[in-house]
Amino acid sequence: MLKSLIAASLSGALLFTSLQANAQWQDTLDKAKGQTVYFNAWGGADNVNDYIRWSAKRIKEKYDVTLKQVKLTDTADAVNRVLAEKAAGKNTQGSIDLIWLNGENFRAMKENKLLYGPFSTQLPNYKKYINEQARESLTHDFGTPVDAMEAPWGMAQVIFMYDTATLKTPPKSIPELLTYAQQHPGRITYPAPPQFLGSTFLKQALYELTTDKSALTKPVSHVDFQAVTAPLWAYLDKLNKVAWRHGKVFPTDATQMIRLLDDQEIDVALSFDISSASVAIQQGNLPDSVRSYVFTKGTIGNTHFLAIPYNSSAKAGAEVVANFMLSPEAQIQKQKPTVWGDLSVLSYAKLSARQQQQFDAIPRGIATLNISELGKTLPEPDTSWVKALENEWLKRYAQ
Amino acid sequence: MLSIKNFSLSLADKALIEALNVNIKNGQVVSLMGPSGIGKSSLLNFLSGTLSSGLNAQGEVYLDQVAIHTKTPQERRVGLLQQTPLLFPHMSILENLSFAIPAKVKKCDRLELAYQALERVGIKDKANATPEQLSGGQQARVALQRTLLSEPGFLLLDEPFSKLDPALRREVRVFVLEEIRKANIPALLVTHDAEDAKAMQGPCIDLAAAH
Amino acid sequence: MLFNRLRITSWLLALLLTIPVLVGLVGTLLPAFHYFPPLGELHFSLASWRALWQNDEFYSSLKLTLITGIIAPVVALWIALSLLAWGYQRAFFQKIEKLLAPILAIPHAAIAIGLLFLLSPSGWLMRLFSPWLTGFDRPPNWITVQDPYGFSLIFALVMKEMPYLLFIMLASLHAIDARKTLEVCQTLGYKRLTIWRKVLIPQLYPIIRMPIFIVIAFSLTVVDLAVVIGPNTPSTLAVTLFHWFNDPELSKRFVASAGAIALMLVIGVVMLGWELAHCALTRLTKAERSNGKRTGFTDYLLRMGVLFGLVTLFSALVSLVILPIWSLTRRWRFPDALPSSWTFDNIKRAYPILIELSSNTLIIAFSATLIACLMSALMLEIKRLTKHSENHPFDWLIYVPILLPQIGFLFGLHILLIQINLNGTLSAIIALHLMYVLPYVYLSLRGPYLAYNEDYLVQANRLTHRPWRNYFVIKLAMLKPALLTAFAIGFSVSIAQYLPTLIAGEGRYSTLTTEAVTQAASGDRKQVGSMALLQAFFPVFVFWLAHVLPPRWTRWRLALYLRLRKCYKQLPIHGQ
């Protein structure tokens, strides 16, 4: 009797809290109705822009929220704009409602109190489909605790591309890459740090070369940076000498690397977007003999997020958008290689059988790896490493 | 009738023209001669009310007994013809002519008037031509017609023939005198050329001699 | 009294234009001295300057900036003068003149991308000669572009600046009566190039001083061009600063602000140095000019300049031709001389947003340029009336926005816009564009406007005293060619604006250029090619109109009138 009473009151309390949550979410949906959400997102890729346009259409239909993409060339533009608004004392009615970001931009905005939240863990789809234990990067964005200040959107992992028509066995580790470069001078390169893919390459190389891997999870100030990174610089000294254009110039980003691969100036390109080879083939930017692969010891992976600025004028609308982006419908569409090919952040186990089927049915691009082929994901080192590695690289190779 | 009374002009302390008195009857052309720098152009500027500062000019001007030297340039009803015909190059001849007709005249009447002026010049086939398609003599005549169409109270002629070649000059002189007589207004001609003065068949004032 | 009022008006106008820039500058100066409340910095200090002096990247990129920023204008000026001296009044040269407008109208990032593709080891030049001549099956590992010394950057800068200088020179030639001088000196037995060197160029220089300064400032501060074709180990100072300002580490902007101030000082010093060099050169050549020699050794300098000039113009032309080819390409691999498969997809992809982009672009460009034309006319009229030939405030104040690096004041300007609640509006974009359009419009209108024979207007007012109407139907109508050319220049300047559009519009108003630059961020040549084509379409069209319309305008207008006006038909005047 007592037991059942306790059980009843407990379930009542649970019911009550979930009812309350429902009511809260309903409140958010009501507030969001008719709002316009200005979504500041990097606009350099057509397939991503198209996907956002598709989402905008669905969101308008389902929630009567207007989603407008403000295309950026650099996420820093949006950070600067929020900063300018703060400097001008515009603490409400800001011009940005939602930003696509991760890593350093997130840390900068969070530390300078430019973000609204916590909100992400309260989104219905987050509660329903996200398993925080599945990946560390869901709760620690480049080592910075997410603390519900941003909602996960997709996953990225470093992949490499090569042309099977000209190259039979691509280099599958950082040391092999150097050996290959020495045998084929001028055919290997990497994007110039501080471009994030370039910095990621440094982290990847450091991860494979350093003797003290545990140091990478600590802040740089707590370890002997020179000692930990010495093998990396010794490696790069050798690599740059035989690199593309003698290491005097480096590509600016993944797209340029793909272009160089297509022009046959280089033999291996890297990207943070696992579908980029398939997309490039489809757009006629790579020959269809190009394939993706990852290093045997794994590659660096991370999660990208959606965040709401502290002065957004449509916070409810932005939450509704972030929630929609976490829905199976949106994530399935996003993962289709013909659409975008960006990996889902949802927990497969938490999906219904039908949704699992839908995920399984997603066709793969001819040059896209599946989850098992992607292998081990190496975690991002602590955020403080990025700046330290970039500065050291600039000092050594860019002056 | 245009009367200039007691006109004197000085630059700094140097007197250029002293106590000039001229009366010009309607339809009459009075010629004014003299070397450059004597102040001929300044007299014209004084009459049209556009004398620049720095020159000291005194005197009175009456048009039909009404004092005009106290009036603004636009109220003086002055017509001026210069060395260059200054026809507007971006307008047809007809438009150049009708430009000058006072605004009160109705649209179709304006064209009628302009067309009549064109006939007087004798180039009615050139109504829609642009000024550059006209010869120098034709341009000078159109310029005169244009000035007359603006219904001036008197006419100032500032060496209007000096850019024409001798043969043309004779023709244009005759035309100008005829038209001024037809318009029946007083006119003052400033020139270097004694032939010009003679052809106007009116009194000639030599400023150098008066000096 | 009237003159005083006019002078005050001119001061007010100039201030109205420069106050935003000055406020923007304050927005950079304060952080340069470590004062920036939004990041919690409330005390002035010299920390950012110390950090700047200790930053090695600053020195190396400054060195690169000085090399490219000084050599490029020198070469551009040299080549432009050579071409002018060689080709003036030659039939062949008039064909070259027609090439200038499209080069001016094409956005510089696009032209740089074209050039990059032309010259890179896997580029068109190499493709044309491979493998049958070079023996290369794959592109060689050469450094032909983005070289560490910045030669390719200098070449790209010259390619963009030389046509501008040439254009301005051609427009200012009437002021020095070049044809008569040439005739007179030729009868004295002087050779053509020597006449230019000894007589005409010394007269021309003071007239084109301001355009040269604009070119110098452009070379020292350009970002988009340098990103594409400049080296990146290190980049030029402007690019480095741009990265610093955009660094996720927000505290980096203190050093960035100090760097921006330093860059402004550098611009000032370079211009001062330029003027001193010019004075010294004038003094050195003064004796040589009147030594009576009818030819001279230095004529060869001009002759060499002609050669370089033709090469530069040809490369520019080819870089332009590449863009439409890429926009229709599906596959084009090394070493194919032409694409192996073609498609309309690249252009089609722009369809859905084309109307919105075009209308935004046109509204902004038309409004800004029209206002700029009217303001220029007003300021020039004031200048004429007050007869203050030299030191009018707006004569130098209006150039402030284009002589200073954008990164130096746009952030502060953005804060100002937010504070007066004008951010994110179309009018804010137009106002910001006006700041950049006005100097160019004013500069190209000034010569012809002041040379206008005022007698026409005086005579018109004597005939019918309607000063306002006559000002428009006589004076401005007669200045049509100059006005249209100024309009075309202003229009293309407005179309090319990226950062001002983005900052004032907060990204809510996309234009062809913001879209093209975002596409350029992807570096996809096919996308860039098609966007650049769309972006260039309107300016080229307006330039073409400015070229074609004025000489035919009156004829066409009269022909049209004849058809429309009934009054004309009543009269028996169809004797033609």
Q: Model confidence over C305-351: pLDDT tens digits?
A: 999 999 999 999 898 888 889 989 999 988 888 999 999 888 887 77
Round the average pLDDT of chain C to a whole number and report it: 86
Lowest mean pLDDT among A385-399, B142-156, C184-198: C184-198
CATH number of this structure's domain B2-210:
3.40.50.300
Query: Going by C-beta distance under 8 Å and a sequence separation of 6 or more, which residues neighbour residue A289?
Result: A163, A164, A165
In percent, how much of chain A has pLDDT > 90?
A: 64
- Chain B neighbours (≥3 Cβ pairs under 8 A) are C
CB spacing of C38 vs A95 below 8 angstroms: no
Distance CA C397, CA C306 (A): 35
Residue of chain A nearest C505, judged by CA positions = A95
So what's the pLDDT on residue C533?
82
Of A73, A79, A244, the CB nearest to C517: A73
* Partner B contacted by C37 (CB < 8 A): no
pLDDT, position A126: 95
Residues A377 and A157: beta-carbon distance below 8 Å: yes
Q: What is the pLDDT of residue A295?
A: 95
**Residue B67 is encoded by which pair of tokens?**
């004092």
C459 with B130: Cβ contact below 8 A:
no
Cβ contact C331–A284 (<8 Å)? yes
Q: Which residues of C touch A108 (CB under 8 A)?
A: 248-250
Q: Rounded CA gap, C342 and C328, in Å? A: 6
A230 and C CB contact within 8 Å: no
Residue A382 sits in the same domain as residue A357: no
Interchain contact, B94 vs C575, CB within 8 Å: no
Closest CA to A196 of A142, A249, A274: A142
C423 touches chain B (CB under 8 A): no
Does A387 lie in the same domain as A327?
Answer: no
Same domain as A386, residue A253: yes
**Alpha-carbon gap: C470 to the closest alpha carbon of chain B (Å):** 10
pLDDT tens string A254-310 = 888 999 999 999 999 999 888 889 888 988 899 999 999 999 999 998 899 999 999
DSSP per residue, A35-64: -EEEEEEE---HHHHHHHHHHHHHHHHHH-
Size of interface B-C (CB pairs under 8 A): 73
CB contact under 8 A, B94 and C573: yes
Same domain, A198 and A334: no
Ranges B95-104, C90-99, C430-439, C541-550: which has the least confidence? C90-99
Suggest the residue from C462, C464, C574 to mutate for an interface test with chain B (most B CBs closer than 10 A): C462
| pLDDT in the model for residue A3 | 57
**Pair of tokens at residue B209:** 């001699």
User: According to DSSP H, which parts of chain B are helical?
Assistant: 40-48, 93-100, 107-121, 136-149, 166-183, 194-199, 207-210
| pLDDT tens by residue, C166-178 | 988 887 887 788 8
Residues of chain B with Cβ-Cβ distance to C464 below 8 Å are 99-100, 102-103, 150
pLDDT at residue number C391: 61
Q: Is A387 on the interface with C (CB under 8 A)?
A: yes
Chain C residues with beta carbon closer than 8 angstroms to that of A83: 38-39, 250
For residue A187, give the 3-state DSSP assignment.
coil
Q: Domain for residue A2, yes or no?
A: no
pLDDT for A233 beyond 90: yes
pLDDT at C536: 83
Amino acid in the structure at residue C166: L
Q: Which residues contact C434 (CB under 8 A, 6 or more apart)?
A: C17, C368, C371, C372, C375
Whether A195 and A115 share a structural domain? no
Residue A349's Cβ-side half-sphere holds a number of Cα atoms within 13 Å equal to 5
Q: What percent of chain C is predicted at pLDDT more than 70?
A: 95
**Beta-carbon separation of A399 and C329 below 8 A:** no
Each domain of chain B, given as residue ranges in start order, spans: 2-210
Structural domains for chain C: 1-30+351-549 (1.10.3720.10), 59-231+269-343 (1.10.3720)
- Say if residue B210's pLDDT is above 60: no
Has residue C299 got a pLDDT over 60? Answer: yes
A244 lies within 8 A of chain C by CB: yes
* pLDDT higher than 90, residue A323: yes
Give the whole-angstrom CA distance, residue C203 versus residue C185. Answer: 14
Q: What is the pLDDT of residues A1-16, one digit of tens each?
A: 555 556 555 555 555 6
- The alpha carbon dihedral of C83, C88, C90, C94 has a sign of positive
B-interface mutation test, from C3, C571, C574, C576, most B Cβ less than 10 A away: C571
Instruction: Give the range among C114-118, C262-266, C385-389 with minimum mean pLDDT.
Output: C385-389
| C562 vs B contacts (CB less than 8 Å) | 128
Q: How confident is the model at residue C403 (pLDDT cuts 50, 70, 90)?
A: confident
Distance from the C465 Cα atom to the nearest Cα atom in chain B, whole angstroms: 6
Contacts of B81 in chain C (CB under 8 A): none
Q: Which of C143, C233, C517 sits opposite A192 (nearest CB)?
A: C233
Alpha-carbon span C373 to A315, nearest angstrom: 43
Distance from CA of A297 to the nearest CA of C (A): 30
* pLDDT above 50 (res B123): yes
Is residue A256 located within the same domain as residue A290? yes
Inside any domain, residue A6: no
Q: What is the mean pLDDT of residues A225-231?
A: 94
Q: Which amino acid is at B182?
A: K
SS3 A383: coil
In a domain, A15, yes or no: no
Question: Does the N-terminal peptide bond of residue A118 adopt cis geometry, omega within 30 degrees of 0?
Answer: yes
The predicted pLDDT at position C575 comes to 39
Task: Say which residues have a Cβ less than 8 Å from residue B96's Cβ, sequence separation at least 6.
Answer: B87, B88, B131, B142, B146
From residue C93, alpha-carbon distances to A76, C77, C170 in Å are: 47, 17, 11
Smallest Cβ distance to B88: which of C458, C462, C478? C478
- Tell me, yes or no, whether A231 lies in a domain: yes
Q: Say whether pLDDT at C576 is over 50.
A: no
CA distance A127 to chain C (A): 30
Compute the mean pLDDT over every residue in chain B, rounded to the nearest whole number.
87
Of B153, B163, B115, B158, nearest to B24 by C-alpha is: B153
Min Cα distance C15 → chain B (Å) is 31
Please tell me the predicted confidence (pLDDT) of residue B209. 66
* A77 → chain C, closest CA residue: C246
Residues from chain C that touch A287, judged by Cβ atoms under 8 A, are: 331, 333
Contact call for residues C99 and C166 (beta carbons, < 8 A)? no
Check which CATH number belongs to the domain holding A355 and give it.
3.40.190.10
Name the minimum distance, in Å, from the CA of C110 to any CA of chain A: 16
- Nearest CA to A240 out of C149, C57, C233 is that of C233
CB within 8 A of A358, min separation 6: which ones? Answer: A328, A332
**Judgement on whether residues A126 and A192 belong to the same structural domain of the protein:** no
Considering only CB atoms, B125 lies closest to which of C455, C465, C576, namely: C576
State the best of A66, A263, A397 to mutate against chain C, taking most chain C CBs within 10 Å.
Answer: A263
Query: Which range, of C207-221, C311-325, C550-564, averages the lowest pLDDT?
Result: C550-564
CB contact residues (below 8 A), chain A span 182-201, against chain C: 185-187, 192, 194
Prediction pTM value: 0.86
The verdict on A140 and A226 lying in the same domain is no
Q: Does B49 touch chain C (CB under 8 A)?
A: no
Stated length of chain A: 399
Query: Between chains, do A284 and C227 touch, taking CB under 8 Å as contact?
Result: no
d(CA C327, CA C344): 8
Query: Could you tell me if residue A45 is inside a domain?
Result: yes
Contacts of C554 in chain B (CB under 8 A): 89-92, 130
Chain-chain contact of A108 with C250 (C-beta, under 8 angstroms): yes
Give the confidence band of B154 by pLDDT, cuts at 50, 70, 90. very high
Task: Output the six-digit token pair for A397.
Answer: 């190779």
Q: Do chains B and C touch (3 or more CB pairs under 8 A)?
A: yes
Residue-level pLDDT at C3? 63
> Pick from C72, C80, C70: which is nearest to C167 by CA?
C80
| pLDDT for the residue C573 | 45
A289 shares its domain with A308: no
d(CA A331, CA A333): 5
On whether residue A144 sits in a domain, the answer given is yes
Q: Decide if C553 and B90 are in contact by the 8 Å CB cutoff.
A: yes
Per the structure, the complete domain to which residue A146 belongs is given by 23-154+302-364
How far apart are alpha carbons A270 and B98 in whole angstroms?
Answer: 76
Band of the pLDDT at B160, cuts 50, 70, 90?
confident
With CA atoms as reference, report the closest residue to A166 among A76, A64, A269: A269
- Other Cβ atoms closer than 10 A to C480: 17
The DSSP result for C153-165, as a single string, is HHHHHHHHHHHHH
Q: Which pLDDT band, with edges at 50, 70 and 90, does A372 fall under?
A: confident
Q: Report the complex ipTM.
A: 0.90
How far out from the chain centre does Cα C449 lie? 21
Q: Do B103 and C477 touch (CB under 8 A)?
A: no
CA distance B158 to B145: 16
Q: Which of A338-352, B24-38, C363-377, C397-411 has the highest mean pLDDT?
A: C363-377
Q: How many domains does chain A have?
A: 2
Report yes or no on chains A and C touching (3+ CB pairs under 8 A). Answer: yes
> Band of the pLDDT at A327, cuts 50, 70, 90?
very high
Tell me, yes or no, whether A185 lies in a domain.
Answer: yes
**pLDDT digits 0-9 by tens, C6-39:** 778 777 877 887 888 888 888 888 988 988 888 8
Give residue C396's pLDDT: 78
Dump pLDDT digits (tens) for B170-185.
Answer: 888 999 999 999 999 9
Provide the total of helices (H) and of strands (E) in chain C, helices listed first. Answer: 29, 2
Written as six digits, the tokens of B7 are 């006109």
CB contacts, 8 Å: A259 with chain C:
523-525
- B129 to C576: CB separation less than 8 angstroms, yes or no: yes
pLDDT digits (tens, 9 = 90+) for A15-59: 566 778 788 999 999 999 999 999 999 887 888 999 999 999 999
- Residues A254 and A105 occupy one common structural domain: no
Query: Tokens 């700047």 map to which residue?
Result: C52
A115 and A194 belong to one structural domain: no
Q: What are phi and psi of A10, to 5 degrees?
A: -65, -50
Task: Return residues 276-305 of A near C (CB < 8 Å).
Answer: 283-285, 287
Judge if A116 and A185 occupy the same domain: no
User: Could you tell me what percentage of chain C is helix, strand and coil, using 3-state DSSP and rounding each to the nearest 5?
Assistant: 75, 0, 20
Q: Hey, of C63, C141, C237, which one would you mutate to test binding to chain A, going by the most A CBs within 10 A of its CB?
A: C141
Determine the 3-state secondary structure of C552 from DSSP. helix
Q: Is the pLDDT of residue C131 over 90?
A: no
Give the chain A residue whose CA is nearest to the CA of C140.
A265
Cα C271 to Cα A392, B15, C217, distances in angstroms: 35, 51, 8
Collect all residues of chain C within an 8 Å Cβ-Cβ radius of residue A194: 243, 247
Q: How far apart are the first and last CA of chain A?
A: 79
Q: Of A128-132, C93-97, C275-279, C488-492, which gets the smallest average pLDDT? A: C93-97
pLDDT at A101 over 90: yes
CB-based contact (8 Å) between C464 and chain B?
yes
